[in-house]
Each structure stands twice: as structure tokens, then as C-alpha cells.
Structure 1
Amino acid sequence: MSKLMKSIMIEQDVDLQCSKKHKSPIQMVVFDQKLTNNERLLCSDCLEDFESNVKMVGLTKVLQIIDDKQIKQIEYKQNLIENNIEQIQMIQRSFIEIKSNLISIIDSLIGNSEEWIKVLNQIGEQTVTYSFFDEIELLIQNKHKNEQNQEMLKEIKQINQSWITKTTQKILNFNSNYKLLITELKKQLQILIYNQVQEETQEIKQLIDDPVNLKLINNKSYQYDDCFAISFNNIGNLMISGCGKDIKVWDFQDGKIKEVLKLKGHTDTIRCLTFANSNNSFISGSGDFSIRCWKQLNFKQWKSSQPYQNHTDQIECILLSKDERQLISSSQDKSIKIWNFDINNNELILQQSLNESKCCLNSITLNFSETSLVACGDDKQILIWLKNKSNQWEYLNVVTQSQEEYGTKVCFLNDNLFIWVSGDISKKNCVRIFERQEGTFIENTTKTIELENDEEEVFDLNLFPIQYNIEQNLILIRHKLYIYFLREQRDGKYKIVNKLKQLSNSIQGSMTKDSKYLAFWESSQKTYSIYEIETK
């Protein structure tokens, strides 16, 4: 158990005096945001001529409130640290077990080799008999006697083969045990990561009641070519967007955009874009059936890879894994492709193709530990794949839905919960919640999020992926004519905290990674609009 934490107030008793330097002890504390430090402290002399409508609390009570808060904070920190230490100790025990197994097998293999050498030495120490007269006869006839040499070679070969078999078997057994130990270690690390996410989620829920305001930045940029995709780099100073079959790169500063250059390479409309987090490389998917990787050479120059055309129809969605070594793509050809992404060499290598869907796949999402993959599409089905011990994706099942609707967007909010958005004209406009129960995802109809129902009958388009910022407890969803911002509530349900209505359903956009800005292009106005997202 870790050492008990202590809470120590920085200020001394002498520091707690009123701003007028009276010698009387402090009696009251003024809860006024306009005042600072000692201005908020009132002694008995100050109280004689002090007038205010703001809240005032006695010093003794304030000190008690602060003490209670500190005690709760220390208890929370102490439990948090102890729980993490317990998890790390389990991981440490796995390291020790791997080390013990490794030392044991190495010692065993060294012992084998010593016995092996000993057996060969015993052969060398054997007394060899021969006949003097037989040897003379062989010399006279100029003949060589090789039988004994052949016997010795045969015996040594048999000995070597026997010990090679024993050694190989021990190595194979170790390899099998080693894989099991490594798999268990990975599970323990994933549990630690998941627990941290859960702990963060509890903290994030404090943001539930804070408002989300949207401030329009008057910086409209017109673009007459269709924009179907927008993405920001990790630090939010670069934005890329589709411009027909080209890609525009924008300088992005404080919500103001300035076009830097236009990248050419694709031969049809850009449908999806995603930046890498580690640098300003990005990946594009197009209606020309191809995926391209783009590596930044300098601020105004990107190099395109070859077009990867393993899909046979337009690309609908692309996802990068957290370590940015794997790319997942979905297409109207009904397939999902799994790629190895070499960010340094700016290339993709196809690893696996998932072909269980019967229709176009509109959206794909990975859970936080990247062990579950979910996809939805035009066949009114939600499909699940799980990653096996060999890091290959295996098809699991189709999720049961309360209403048969085709899905346009899907997104995990934690390891065991994802949200799904329908796209039909006639169906009820809503976001549905699916939670994992005993290994199976089940729709939780009590958490369904009702969206706006307009008189206008329009489809929801699949582009403009859902974004979730866990630190801000903020979910961004575009559905039909609306852009919605949602937050999770204390009861685990989700609430719309702000929304924007547009003139058409062709709205494509994205948030910056820190959720400070929203940028989107709307087809009827042919403009990029930027909003500052004001949250607490």
C-alpha cells in the first residue's frame, strides 16, 4: 500500500487577514468572483461598514468545507493510486513469470548441451582395438579400413539427432507457454487502460451541467466544388478538405482558415480523409476506388503514395489504429480491408479482407482497446468482428435491432458501448445505444436519443463521421439537416446540449481534436463555416 497522502495548506495563519490590515481575526468570507484573495476576507472591523448582496459564509464553516473537500480528494487519489498499483503489481508478476520461464528454459537448454557434450566425449574416450597383422595386410594391399569410421559417424549422427529433437521440443514448449504468458500480459495491460478510461469518465461527468455555446466566426470561404470530407491535424493548425477530386490544405489559426495549396492525384471525388496524430501525414479515400497516403515534405509540399486499388467501388470510411500501424477501410464494394500502414515509407500493405456484409458499408468504428470492430450499412444490419490471439479479425454476429433501419453512422463511446444513427426518410429520427452484455451487444431502448423530426423528408448521408471527445464529455453528430452536440448524464443517458440547423442534408465537417472549433461545408450555401465551441 502506498504511503498516506497529506493535504497541507500553503498559506499560514498570518496570511489570513483582511485586505485593510486590521488586527482583528477573520470572521466571514465573501463569495464574490470580482474580489481576489484577501479582499474576500472580512474581520469584525470590516463587517461594521461592509454592504453586499453576495453570499457570505463564516470562516470556521469555510475551513470545514475545504477540509471535507480535501479529505474526499485525498481518499479518491489514494484509492486511485492503490488500484493502479494493484494492477501494475499483477503486470509485474507476469514479467517475473516470463523471466522465470525464460531462465528455466535457458538453464535446461544449457544442461542439455552439457549432457550432449558429455555423451560425445564418452565416445571419444572408448578404447579402440585393432590387429597388428590385419593392419599390415591392409597396408600391403594398399586398402583403407573405413568400416569403423562409418560406424562412428553413424553413432554420432544418431546422438546428435536425439539431442536436437529434445532441444527443439523444449524450445517449442517454451514458445507455446511464452505466447500464453504474453497474451495474458496484454489482457492485463488492456484492463489497466480500460480502468483508466472508466476513471476518466467519472471525472468527465462533472462536465454534465456545463453549457456548450457556439460562436460563429465571420470567416466564410466559398467553394463551388463538392466537399465530402474534412479533417484536422493533431494540434489543430492544419485543416484538409475535399474539393471535388482534389484535396485542399488550409492554415488554421484561431478559427480563421487560409488556403495553402491544392493536392492532385485522385481521379474522382474525395470521400474520406484522416490525419495521422504523430505527424502531418494523412490518408485519403476516393470515389475512384483508391486509397492514397500523403507524407508531408515541408509546409507547402506533400508526397502521394501509389493509389491502392484493392477495393472495387468507392471508399466510404477509413480508420487509423491508435499506434497508427493499421488502417481499416470500408467501401461500397461491401468489404472491409485491413492494412498495415508504414508511416515512414508512406505505404500500405493489405493484410486481411472482411467480406461478411451483403451491402455497402457506410461506417466503421473500433472500441477503445481495439479488440472489437463494428460496421453498419445499407442492408439494415450492424455487424461485429473480434480480434483473435493472432491479431486477425474474426466475424462474430449481427446485432439485433428494435427497428429495421439502415445505418449511416456508428461510433464506440467506450469498450462496451456504441451509438448508431439511422438514415431512413420515414423512420423515427434517433440515435440508438448498444451495450455489451455477457459478450453480446444488446440495444438499450431506455437510452434512445430522440432527434428533431422535420416536415422535410430527407435521407441522412453517411459522411461526416461521429466524433467523441472524452475529456470534454462531448459528442458531435450530424443527422439530416442538423448538427448536434451531446453529453452523457449522471444516469448514463445522453442529452442534446446544443444544435445547429442547416438548409440541406449535405453538410460535411469535423471538430478540432481539442473540441475548440467546428468546421463544416454546406452544399446549398457552398461555404465553409467555422464555429468556436465554448465549453467549461
Structure 2
Amino acid sequence: MIPILSNSDIKYYDSTITLKKDQISHAIAINTENSYLLISCQSYIEIYRIYEKQLRLIQQINCHKRRVSSLCFFKSNRLFISGSFDSYIILWSTALINRSKYLQKFIGHTQSISCILTRPIIEDLIISCSADFSIKFWSQQIENNQQWICFQTIREHRNIVWGISINQQGSQVISCGEDKQILVMEQNQKPSSNWFVKQLIQVNQSGFRLCYINNNIFVFQPESSANLNIYTQNKNQEYILTKNIQVLGEAQFCYPYFHSIYNYEKQILINKNGYFLNIIKFNNNIKESQKFTQYHNDDLDIYAQTVQVINFEDNYIFGTLSNDGQYLITWNKLSKELQVSKYQENF
């Protein structure tokens, strides 16, 4: 087990902007340029312009019938998508960010949307999961006037699917939920081909969140557990539980919708568990190994350290991390404050 450690010499996040918000914000997203912020407020979406020390509201959108549960910018910033408790996904154009345009409603799920993500390199795929036990894959179809359609549905889960993550190459997707299963899905070699379940992993506890660390390693957070599980791919290309990282939040009621996020540039994982946000730094640089706790698997060295833990004293915590890892944005029910925290160096 990798224990909880603290080192003030490691980079961490410190609050720079706060905004009072009384209404619950299940979903938050920031564009790749760190200039615009999306915040869900019940059934509508607020769009803010980000300045150095303040946020300015520039638009409010109300198209969903129930609470917005998921928001995601495309990497090019041209589009963003929203998912809701009403089971619908909506695609928006950001050609005029202060007049975001409704483009298409995705109809297919029958229960609330848990998570939405896009392929990280080529914007040709949207993946969604839902309380209807399904995972759906969407793509644009030339023959349908460039409309996005669901070309595949995976129904291997037997209960609510809470979390999905896609690897850096965009070739593999993992999922977790209430049924104590992790699915590893892979796409056939042709880009237009369907996805298949490559591996089904039985786990001891249900979980809301999981996340790729690289193309061969992912982490899974069992609900309210003291351990964050690390899975690595073995020589047979199957994922096995390798080690645990000790995290805070054990035995505390945990609420979903704040998904684990890993930033490849800064090698930082943001992982919610109970009342706590555990910020974990990974490093595979041998020269800096003295700062990190090491585990070894199949000639693969991974160094990990918990560099900051934030206690919100409440389980209703939602947020996101900017694409470059520069900003951590959170909202929690106890303080009713949106906080924008900036990546700091503390030597």
C-alpha cells in the first residue's frame, strides 16, 4: 500500500477566485484556453468569462427539463455538450460564445446521464453513460447531414453506470458503476469499427469514478474506501489490481458526478472520496524518485505521492480540472461557493 504523504515542496492548488452560488452545480467545464467556464445550475447552464481575479457571467442557457449533470468542451473549443437528469444530451456551438447555439439533441438514453466524454485527439466520437445501465457511442454521419447518431450501445453493466474514462490514444474505454464491475472496452482496428468488451473485472465494491493514468494503467476508487486501486496491464494485456494508494474519505457517504481527472502534463490526479479531494502526483522520473513512494510491476516503475488533501466537510462536491492542469474549479454545498484554484509552486 502507498501511504498518505505530504510534501510542501510539491506543487499544489490555492484558491484565487471565489463566487457565491446558492444553487447546486452538478457539472463544471472549462475550455482548453482557460477563458470560458460552464457551470450547471439546476436545469440551465451559465457561461462565464474568466479573468485574472474575477468571473463575468455572459450567457444563461435553459434547454434541459431537469438538472444538468454533465458538461464537456470539445478540445477545439468549437463545441460543447451537456447531459441531464432528463436523459437527453445536447450539442452546442460556441462560434459566438456569448450566443451559444443549440445544434442537436441526442435521444437514446432512457434515464439520467452520468458522464459524457469525447475522444481526446480526433473529435469524431462522443461516449456517454447513464442510469439506464448502458454506455453509448455516438459519431457524425455524412449521410445524415452531419448529424450525430448512436452507432453502438453496450449493455454489459447490470446497474447504474457512474463513470467512464478514455485513454490518451483514444483506443480504449473503461467504465464502473453500482454493479461492482469494471468494463474494459476496445475499438476494432478500423476507426469506424464497433467497440467490444475486452475484459470484465469483478470488484468488491461499487464505485463512482475511475481514470486512466496512461495507456497501460488506470485507477479505480471504490465507494468510500480508504484505498484507491491501481490497475496495470500485464504481459497478456489484461488489467490486474497491482497496488493501492491510501486516500482520505473512508466510510464517509460519497456523492457521484465529480469524476476523477488525470492531467498528463503535470502528472496530477484529482480524486474525490467522501468529504475529501485527494490530489496525487505521479512521477516516472528516476532522478526524482526520492520524493515519491515507489511500486514495481513487470519492470514498470511508478512513483506516487499525495501532495494535497482538501477537506470540504461535506460530500456534495463537484468540479473539474483545466486541460493544462493550471486551474482546479470546485463547488460544494456547505460553503455554496464556486472556487477557482490556481496551480502554485511552493519551494
Q: TM-score, normalised by structure 2?
A: 0.86
**1:238 deviation in Å?**
0.3
Is 2:276–2:312's contact at 8 Å kept on the other side of the alignment?
A: yes
In structure 2, what is the equivalent of residue 461 of structure 1? 255
Cα offsets for 1:59-95 (capped at 9, x unmatched): xxxxxxxxxxxxxxxxxxxxxxxxxxxxxxxxxxxxx
1:78-125 Cα distance to aligned partner (Å, 9 max, x none):
xxxxxxxxxxxxxxxxxxxxxxxxxxxxxxxxxxxxxxxxxxxxxxxx
Matching of residue 504 in structure 1 with residue 306 in structure 2? no
Q: Which residue of 1 aligns with 2:282?
A: 488
Matches within 5 A, 1:29-108: none
Give the residue type in structure 2 aligned to 1:394: F
Give the structure 1 partner of residue 25 of structure 2. 227
Could you say which residue in structure 2 is the equivalent of 1:9? none
Shift of the 309–235 alpha-carbon distance from structure 1 to 2, 3 Å rule, reads: same
The aligned residue for residue 15 of structure 2 is: 216
Question: Which of 398, 405, 422 does residue 200 from structure 2 map onto?
Answer: 398
Match of 2:210, SS state, is strand
Q: What's the offset of the Cα at 1:346?
A: 7.8
* Counterpart residue identity of residue 338, structure 2: Y
RMSD: 2.1
How big is the shift at 1:435?
Answer: 0.6
Instruction: Report the Cα distance in structure 2 between the residues aligned to 1:413 and 1:324, rounded to whole angstroms.
Output: 21
Contact 2:317–2:330, Cα closer than 8 Å, also in 1? yes
Q: How does 1:284-299 map to 2 (within 5 A)?
A: 284-299=82-97
Equivalent residue number for residue 534 of structure 1: 344
CA distance 1:228–1:291, change in 2 (3 Å): same
Q: Say yes or no: does 1:337 pair with 2:157.
A: no
Q: In 2, Cα distance between the equivalents of 1:289 and 1:346?
A: 22
Q: Percent identity?
A: 23
1:338-353 map, 5 Å: 338-341=137-140, 347-353=147-153
1: CA distance, partners of 2:326 / 2:78: 19
How far apart are the structure 2 equivalents of 1:346 and 1:291? 16
Q: Greater helix percent: which structure?
A: 1
Q: State the 1:327 CA deviation.
A: 0.3
CA distance in 2, matches of 1:297, 1:434: 40
Measure, in 1, the Cα distance between the counterparts of 2:66 and 2:14.
Answer: 34
Give the TM-score, by structure 1 length.
0.57
Give 5+ residue unaligned stretches, structure 1.
1-207
The farther-off stretch of 405-414 and 219-228 is: 219-228
Q: Could you say if the C-alpha distance between residues 342 and 462 of structure 1 is closer, same or farther in structure 2, counting changes exceeding 3 Å?
A: farther
Number of the residue aligned with 2:186: 386
Gaps of 5+ in 2: 1-6, 284-288, 295-301
Secondary structure, aligned partner of 1:530: strand
Query: Which among 287, 305, 308 is matched to residue 103 of structure 2?
Result: 305
Distance 1:453 1:511, change over 3 A: closer
Q: 2:286 aligns to what? A: none
Counterpart code for 1:433: I
CA distance in 2, matches of 1:301, 1:244: 20
Q: State yes or no: 1:370 paired with 2:167.
A: no
State the distance in 2 between where 1:346 and 1:240 align: 25
Any idea what SS the aligned residue of 2:105 has?
coil
How far apart are the structure 1 equivalents of 2:68 and 2:249? 30
Deviations 1:349-407 (A, max 9, x none): 11111111111100011122222221000011111222113421012231144xx1001
Answer yes or no: is the 8 Å Cα contact 2:90–2:102 preserved in 1: yes
The 1-side partners of 2:135 and 2:81 are apart by 16
Matched residues in 2 for 1:370 and 1:275: separation? 16
User: Which structure would you say has the larger RCO, counting Cα contacts within 8 Å and 6 or more residues apart?
Assistant: 2
Residues 453 and 243 of structure 1: is their aligned pair in 2 closer, same or farther, counting only changes over 3 Å?
closer
4+ residue runs of structure 1 moved beyond 3 angstroms?
none
Q: Which amino acid aligns with 1:377?
A: G
| SS of alignment partner, residue 267 of structure 1 | coil
Does the CA-based 8 Å contact 1:294-1:346 persist in structure 2?
no
Q: State whether residues 92 and 104 of structure 2, in contact with CA within 8 Å, keep that contact through their aligned partners in structure 1.
A: no
| Bigger-Rg structure (1/2) | 1
